Structures are given as structure tokens and as C-alpha cells.
Amino acid sequence: MFPLQRNRRLRTNEAIRSLVRETSVSPQDFMCPMFVTEGKGIKSEVPSMPGVYRQSLDGTVKEVKELWALGVKAVNLYAKVSEDLKDNTGKEAWNKDGLMQQTIKAIKDAVPEMIVMPDVALDPYSIYGHDGIIENGQVVNDPTVDALTKMSISHAEAGADFIAPSDMMDGRILAIRKGLEENGFHNVGIMSYSAKYASAFYGPFRDALDSAPKDSTVEIPKDKRTYQMDFANRTEAIKEAIHDVEEGADIVMVKPGLCYLDVVREVKNAVNVPVAVYQVSGEYAMIKAASEKGWIDHDAVLLEQLTAIKRAGASIISTYFAKYAAKLLQQ
């Protein structure tokens, strides 16, 4: 009751504010998504993501070293393979000498302690740009899960620390966990993209990998709404996360970030594993574009968003700003 309680006392100066601050963000909260491409000496900027590059192995390894030095302890890898390697089965995804497998090995050789989490989904390998195999105009669940399991085992063989399935097929966590166990990869973890919404915020990512659902002569679903979640739903996210934990997920993820912080908090309260949040490509692009125009303060908005994601319940944030934010926080 006023004046016994004056809430502003705890806001008087930065010293007291910092003493009572409930949430802090640090480089070890971050994972950095990286786009790898074939070739040598290649570094091409993603047009809709200024400051984010598709890089060949050499540049990727160099950047991983920089990230490690800045205190960033995990990378999420996405491969951009050439069109001629794509088909409907996605079989290039489990080529033991494939781009992703080579990248995992190279990173683990160069920075053995870095936690390497390759993305598992078929879209970068699919001629149709879908996360699964197409039969009769549909993305078929169980044959896709078999493919994802092969893909995961090949990533583990290459040295991945965590498998990160982003495909949203049913039962894939159980199948991948079993596949890993049967092949002796007991300590390879799974970070499941559990509550992944069918979101318009993935646009710049699909530009980066050229992985958007394509126009095709055969009938294919025009979007990903038969597997990614309806953004109107909340309880469904909890169901997905609980199922994934039951199936063996070590970490569950909510994606995208900012529009889904209510979901993050609910999932956090519902499961007893760490929750990760992916601040996705469209979220990155919005901060870049608005700040380029001078309409928002880039660094202030960035720190506010990262803090809000943690406050909502994230233990880990996957962010294209990882390197930049790590530097910013050191100042």
C-alpha cells in the first residue's frame, strides 16, 4: 500500500536495477544457425538477411572458431546443396560424404568442443522443397521418418553432438532415438523442433537455401500446413512437446520466437527438459530492415527481444545475431 510501497525505489539507479534484474542474456545462451554451401572460398550474403552468409567449408570453420572465442557454444547447421543432388527421396541427405557430413567433421576437427547440431529435414534435398517425401500429392509420414532416421545416423557417424529434426513428422523422435541407440550413439542427443509453426517468418531462410515449396508438374501441397502447426493453436504445442519428451527428446524447441512467447512459457511449464527458442530469419530481417531505415534502434531492440525470449522461458536461443550479440554483450 502506498506510500509504504513505492515501486520506483527499485528503479532509482542502474546499480539497484541490476541487483533486482530477473533475467540476463549471455553468449552461452546462444546457438548460431549457419548456412553451408559447396565449393571453396565462397561467402555470399543472403539478400533478405544482411550480415548472414552462405559459406563454403573453409569460411564456416573460420566463423565457428570466432564464435567459440566469443563464448557461443553451439551451432545449428543447414546445407545448401546443388539442384542436381535433389530428388523426391532426399537421399543425398544421408550421403556419408555429403556436404553436411563433411561440414560436421570439419567443425569437430577444428573446434572439438563446439556443440554441433545439424538440421534434420528433407527440404534442402527435396526437388519439391518439402520436408518429406511426396506420394500422391501428399507428404507421407512414415517413409519420411525412415529417411530422417538414416539422415540422423549419418550425422551421428560424422560426429554430430545433437540431432535437430525440424520436419514435424509424427513419431520421428522415437524412430531417431531408436536408430541412434541401435547404432551405439547413446550420447548423441536430440533437440526437437517440437512446436514449429507454419509461419510466414521463414521466408528469408527459404531464400538462403532455395528451399521453398516449388511449382511442380506433379501435384504437391503448396505450403507446409499439413505438418507444421497452425499458428492459432496453443494447447497443440504442449501436446507436441510432451510427445517429443516421451519419445526421447533431450531439448524441445518453439519456433518462431517473438510471436510465440506465450507458447514458450506454457511449454516451459509443461515439460522438464530445457526449452530452446528459434528467433527465425524473418525476425532477423525485420530488425535489420527497420533499423536500416532509422526507424528503430538496432541494438536496443535486439537486446530487448533476446531478453524477452529468455524471460518467457527459453534456456537456449538460436539466433542469427549470435556473433553480433555476443560482441555487444562483452562491451
Q: Which residues are catalytic, by number?
A: 196, 255
State the cell numbers at 37: 554451401
Is the CB of 125 or the CB of 185 nearer to ligand PBG?
125
* Residues numbered 164-183 forming contacts with ligand PBG, rule: CB under 6 A: 166-167
Is the CB of 128 or the CB of 202 nearer to ligand PBG?
202
CA distances from 144 to 89, 148, 267, 290 (A): 8, 6, 26, 39
227 binds ligand PBG (CB under 6 A): no
Only one residue has cell 506420394, namely 135
Three-class secondary structure of residue 261 per DSSP = helix
Is the CB of 6 or the CB of 222 nearer to ligand PBG?
222
* Residues numbered 207-226 forming contacts with ligand PBG, rule: CB under 6 A: 224
Q: How many CB atoms lie within 10 A of CB 239?
A: 14
253 binds ligand PBG (CB under 6 A): no
Rounded to whole angstroms, the Cα distance separating 119 from 79 reads 8
275 touches 310 (CB < 8 A): no
Rounded to whole angstroms, the Cα distance separating 241 from 247 reads 10
Strands (E), 219-260: 251-255
25 binds ligand PBG (CB under 6 A): no
Is the CB of 92 or the CB of 131 nearer to ligand PBG?
131
To the question of whether residue 240 is assigned a binding role by annotation, the answer is yes
CB of 18: closest distance to ligand PBG in angstroms? 32
* Residues numbered 113-152 forming contacts with ligand PBG, rule: CB under 6 A: 119, 121, 123, 131
Q: Are strands 49-55 and 43-46 parallel, antiparallel or unpaired?
A: antiparallel
Binding segment (CB under 6 A) for ligand PBG, from list 55-63, 171-179, 198-206, 295-303: 198-206
240 binds ligand PBG (CB under 6 A): no
* Residues numbered 80-119 forming contacts with ligand PBG, rule: CB under 6 A: 119
CB of 281: closest distance to ligand PBG in angstroms? 3
CA distances from 275 to 228, 298, 303, 304 (A): 18, 26, 19, 19
Binding site for ligand PBG (CB under 6 A): 119, 121, 123, 131, 166-167, 202, 205-206, 224, 280-281
- Known binding-site residues for Mg(2+) equal 240
